[in-house]
Amino acid sequence: MKKMTFPLILLPLILLGFIVLGLHAQPFMVTATNYASGFFGVVADENGQPLAVGSLLQLIWDADGDGMDNPSTQPGFWGAPTGDDVLMGTCQAGITGGAPSAGTFVLPGTVTTSTGLCYVRAFHATTPIQGTYFSESVIQYSMPPMNAPTIYGVQFPPTMNRILGSTPIITVDLIPTGSPIVIGPSGGNFQYTIQVHNTTTQSQLTDVWINVMLPNGTIYGPIFQRLNLNLPANTTLTRQMTQSVPMSAPPGVYGYRAHVGDMEPNQIVHQDAFPFEKQGAGGADGLPDDFLGWETSGWEGSEPVAEIPNVFFLGTPYPNPFNPTAQFQFGLPQASSVRIEVYNILGSRVTTLVDKRLDAGYHSVSWNAQGIASGLYLVQMKAGGFVYTQKTLLVK
3-state secondary structure of 196: strand
Residues 3 and 90 grouped into a single domain? yes
Query: What mean pLDDT do residues 110-129 have?
Result: 75
pLDDT at residue 276, rounded to an integer: 92
pLDDT band at 303 (very low <50, low <70, confident <90, very high): very low
Strand partners, 205: 230
pLDDT band at 284 (very low <50, low <70, confident <90, very high): low
Tell me which of 149, 166, 183 is where a domain ends.
Answer: 166
Select from 102, 159, 152 the least CA-distant residue to 136: 159
Residue 118 or residue 343, greater confidence: 343
Residues 179 and 152 grouped into a single domain? no
Residue 302 belongs to some domain of the structure: no
Kind and range of the H or E element at 331?
strand 325-332
**Domain containing residue 327: CATH number:** 2.60.40.1930
pLDDT at residue 9, rounded to an integer: 33
Per the structure, the count of domains in the chain is 3
Calculate what percentage of the chain has a pLDDT beyond 70. 78
**Domain containing residue 249: CATH number:** 2.60.40.3880
Residue 304 belongs to some domain of the structure: no
Tell me which of 166, 186, 220 is where a domain ends.
Answer: 166
pLDDT band at 191 (very low <50, low <70, confident <90, very high): very high
Residues 358 and 253 grouped into a single domain? no
pLDDT at 304 exceeding the cut of 60: no
Residues 259 and 278 grouped into a single domain? yes
Residue 3 belongs to some domain of the structure: yes
CA distance 113 to 144: 7
Q: Is 178 exposed, middle or buried (0-12, 13-18, 19+ CB in 10 A)?
A: exposed
pLDDT at residue 88, rounded to an integer: 78
Residues 184 and 128 grouped into a single domain? no
CA distance 35 to 269: 34
Full domain range(s) for residue 94: 1-166
CA distance 211 to 196: 16
pLDDT at residue 27, rounded to an integer: 32
CB 29 within 8 A of CB 120: yes
Residues 66-84 pLDDT 10s: 777 889 988 889 999 988 8
pLDDT at residue 287, rounded to an integer: 85
CB 236 within 8 A of CB 196: yes
Q: Give the chain's mean pLDDT.
A: 78
Residue 148 belongs to some domain of the structure: yes
**DSSP-H helix ranges across the chain:** 15-21
